[in-house]
Amino acid sequence: MVGPWPAAPYTFRALRKTFGSMWLRCDSCRRFAPLRLPPGYLDRDYRTVSFSCSVCGGVAEHTVTHPHTETGMDDYREDVREQPERHPKAHARILGADRQPGRASEFVPPADRHKFGRR
């Protein structure tokens, strides 16, 4: 018997239900790590969450495929640290200390702009 779909659209919960494991990947460092979400993140819209690399502070790509199954990524090393610290550069970005006009980090999806009074 099939029950109702247990997850709202565009949530990490829906992705996990569809694809199973997820990873974060840094293409600069050529590293990856299993995605471990903080409490409460399973029901967040994955399109509005960004990730950063704990080593270089750059963008970490969220992916539903293991990098070793992708062409040209078999040299990516897995980060096995249990609790990696956020990179200071990424921390400053989150706090807005590096804020400049027109940055992609300030992008608000069109559907959410009314919440912030933006156009």
b/e per residue 58-83 (b: at least 16 CB within 10 A): ebbebbeebbeeeeebeebeebeeee
Q: Contact region for Zn ion (CB under 5 A) — 16-24, 53-61, 83-91, 99-107?
A: 53-61
Window of 19-27, 63-71, 74-82, 102-110 that interacts with Zn ion by CB under 5 A:
19-27
Q: Determine, following the binding rule CB under 5 A, whether residue 56 of this chain makes contact with Zn ion.
A: yes
Q: What is the end-to-end Cα distance of the chain in Å, rounded?
A: 45
- If one asks whether residue 24 binds Zn ion (CB under 5 A), the answer comes out as no
CB of 65 to Zn ion, least distance (A): 18
CB of 25 to Zn ion, least distance (A): 9
Contact 43, 11 (CB under 8 A): yes
Least spacing, CB of residue 29 vs Zn ion, in Å: 3
Considering only residues 59 to 118 of the shown chain, the ones binding Zn ion according to CB under 5 A are: none
DSSP string over 17-51:
HHH---EEEETTTTEEEE--PPTTGGGSBGGG--E
Residue selected from 7, 37, 42, 55 as contacting Zn ion according to rule CB under 5 A: 55
Is residue 11 within 8 Å of residue 42, measured between CB atoms? yes
| Binding positions for Zn ion, rule: CB under 5 A | 26, 28-29, 53, 55-56
